[in-house]
Chains A and B, each alone.
Chain A
């Protein structure tokens, strides 16, 4: 069974640009969550999608957005990039929503903003 796939693995962008990250969940999983990981802030929840609907949202500015498609694949978009957006972005999929079933994480996308 294939795991969670995130693309691309590495990305370098310039301040002010926008970026789109992709996540393909484990087959059959309908919930996709996104996290930002930085050395200073640790793991911070961005948002969760279930059946194409955003179920939860973390405390991030509106520059961070996401969506989920009918096949459960999800994309995350960051507009007007800032240096502080440099981080490892992790996607996790789970069977259900609500945080009761364990989440399976992808390897992440390492975003560097210069």
Chain B
């Protein structure tokens, strides 16, 4: 079955430190991968996507993600975390047959001052 896994329910980092939110996927064919962020009582906001090309994708708010085909991973990264980055982060992959988005369970990022 095609799926996405976010192995960490919560990630805690200190402000100014680098952050990584992990995502692995299982999909047939070439993956189309996305990261979204959700703030409390809000919808999801698009951060970045990988379709093809450079394995390092840059997105909104200073976030980037690294696509690793051999490890089937698409980890979200930021060199220097901000308290305002605290939110719920979702990784998603496009289902290769239906085209629908399959979301991971989400990872809560907590950035402490």
Contact = CB atoms under 8 A, between A and B. Distances in A.
B61 to A, nearest CB: 15
A58 B98 CA distance: 10
Contacts of B102: 45
A35 to B, nearest CB: 8
Interface in A16-66: 33, 35, 42-43, 45, 48, 55-56, 58
Nearest to B48: A102
A43 B90 contact: yes
B103 A42 contact: yes
Interface residues of A, number: 25
Nearest to A91: B43
B24 to A, nearest CB: 16
Nearest to A58: B100
Given A90-B44, A106-B43, A99 B103 contact: no
Given A42-B105, A42-B106, A43-B90, A99 B44 contact: no
B56 interface: no
Nearest to A41: B105
B95 A99 contact: yes
A102 B103 contact: no
A53 to B, nearest CB: 13
Interface in A83-114: 90, 92, 97-100, 102-108, 110
